[in-house]
Amino acid sequence: MEKIKVNNELFEYDLSIKDSLYTLAHDGTSASFQVFKYGDDYLVFDLENNTFVVLDAYLAKDKAIIWVDDQELVLEEESEENVSLGDESKENNIKSPMPGIIREVKFKEKDSVKKGDAIVVLESMKVLNDLKSSIDGIIKKINVDVGMQVGPLEILVEIEPKEEQ
């Protein structure tokens, strides 16, 4: 059994393929589906006579974001690192809310930041967006450089909460 997170929900599954038919087994049930390319831009899934169109897909650093019909799916492989990080730690980080280009990093590692400080400037669709800290803390790690292209939900800056005195 493999493990994957879809929109932060953990699933165990087996995936097999025979000819052009995929079979996905999960939680004691299985479903078969086929994947078709529709033109140059779209993939179509036929899952037990239901058709789903993949409108867009983006591979971020450690996850895939797929837009199917009117739904966004965030897929992540389950790993020891993902398991050990609590939700609190993930909320402290500055993540890219959308694809874009890093235009400015306003702090350095080990700098002290306050809640609301603009940490990174991200350009997306010709608009500059200040990405702000949600906590008072210390910059633990900066994962990007100016000019770097990033995908949605990538962790750009890791922030450790300041210890209260």
What percent of the chain has a predicted confidence (pLDDT) above 70?
Answer: 77
Residue 99 pLDDT level (bands cut at 50, 70, 90): confident
Report which residue type is found at 144: V
- Distance in angstroms (rounded) separating the CA atoms of residues 4 and 6: 6
Mean predicted confidence (pLDDT) in 91-105: 88
What pTM did the predictor assign? Answer: 0.51
pLDDT for position 34: 79
Check pLDDT > 90 for residue 156.
yes
pLDDT score for 102: 95
**Tokens found for residue 33:** 């589906």
Average pLDDT over residues 106-120: 95
Inform me whether the pLDDT recorded for 111 exceeds 80. Answer: yes
pLDDT at 137 over 90: yes
Write out the two tokens for 35: 């994947």
Residue 17 has pLDDT above 50, yes or no: yes
Which domains does the chain show, CATH number per domain?
2-80 (3.30.700.30), 87-161 (2.40.50.100)
As a whole number of angstroms, the distance between CA 107 and CA 126 comes to 23
Please tell me the predicted confidence (pLDDT) of residue 84: 39
- Classify strands 118-124 and 100-105 as parallel, antiparallel or unpaired: antiparallel
Per the model's pLDDT, the better-predicted residue between 61 and 108 turns out to be 108
Distance between CA atoms of 72 and 82, rounded to whole angstroms?
20
According to DSSP H, which parts of the chain are helical?
Answer: 80-84, 87-92
